[in-house]
A = this chain, B = another copy of it.
Amino acid sequence: MSNYPKPINRLIEALSYLPGIGPKTAERLAFHIVSMDETKVNHLITALQDSRDKVFECSTCNNLTDKDPCTICQDESRDSNLICVVQDARDVTAIEKVQDFQGKYHVLQGVISPMEGIGPDDLNLKALMDRIQGEGITELVVATDPTVEGEATAMYLNKLVKPLGVRVTRLAYGLPMGGDLEYADEMTLQQAFEGRKEL
């Protein structure tokens, strides 16, 4: 690495901050950037500056946004009584792609994980409780990941919120569509049996 001109070395180092980019890939990217069209490099620099300066968390739901409150929180055609609780901002987009959910969101920015030292106090729970008490929420759909941590968080939320008279639901478990039953893991298959529905 020390053989490269200093600016290239620094670029390689900075690119290595990114997830999944090791030193070899960073090297390849850096050399591509150096020989890239200058307008494209400028575009990349401006995009980085803008995402540093203009993206922040919505003060209501904690989703990433460039205006406050975010477009979803501002959308009056949405059902304000229905809130979907997700782990992070990318989950909001995943659900929005389905174009089916008509409520609003709340981004926890994490899940309870004793292994990583993340407790309930580290999540955006206070803001959620304020919304529940202030906005007259009737149903909370807990859409945390189907993992041990996601489950624990869902349980915790249920305990916390149900006493307030709010319905707390969890996304269904079962076989993923288009999948192959033969390859489903035991946990999923068990959940699919438990959740079976009459036709």
Contacts and interface: CB of A to CB of B under 8 A. Distances in A.
Protomer copies:
2
Interface string A85-112: 0001110110011000000000000000
A158 interface: no
Given A5-B64, A28-B20, A33-B18, A41 B52 contact: yes
Interface of A: 3-8, 10-11, 13-15, 17-21, 25, 27-34, 36, 38, 40-52, 54-55, 64-67, 70, 88-90, 92-93, 96-97
B7 A51 contact: yes
Contacts of A65: 5
For A10, A31, A47, A65, the residue with the greatest tally of chain B CB atoms inside 10 Å of its CB is: A47
B29 A51 contact: no
B28 A19 contact: yes
Q: At the interface, is chain A mostly helix, strand, loop or mixed?
A: helix
A17 B45 contact: no
Given A11-B48, A33-B48, A48-B11, A17 B3 contact: no
A43 B14 contact: yes
A97 to B, nearest CB: 7
Contacts of A36: 17
Given A20-B28, A27-B90, A33-B51, 8 more contacts: A5-B55, A5-B64, A7-B66, A8-B64, A14-B43, A14-B48, A21-B29, A34-B51
Given A20-B25, A66-B5, A45 B51 contact: no
Contacts of A28: 19-20
Given A32-B18, A40-B14, A44-B17, A3 B96 contact: yes
Nearest to A96: B3
Contacts of A3: 92-93, 96-97
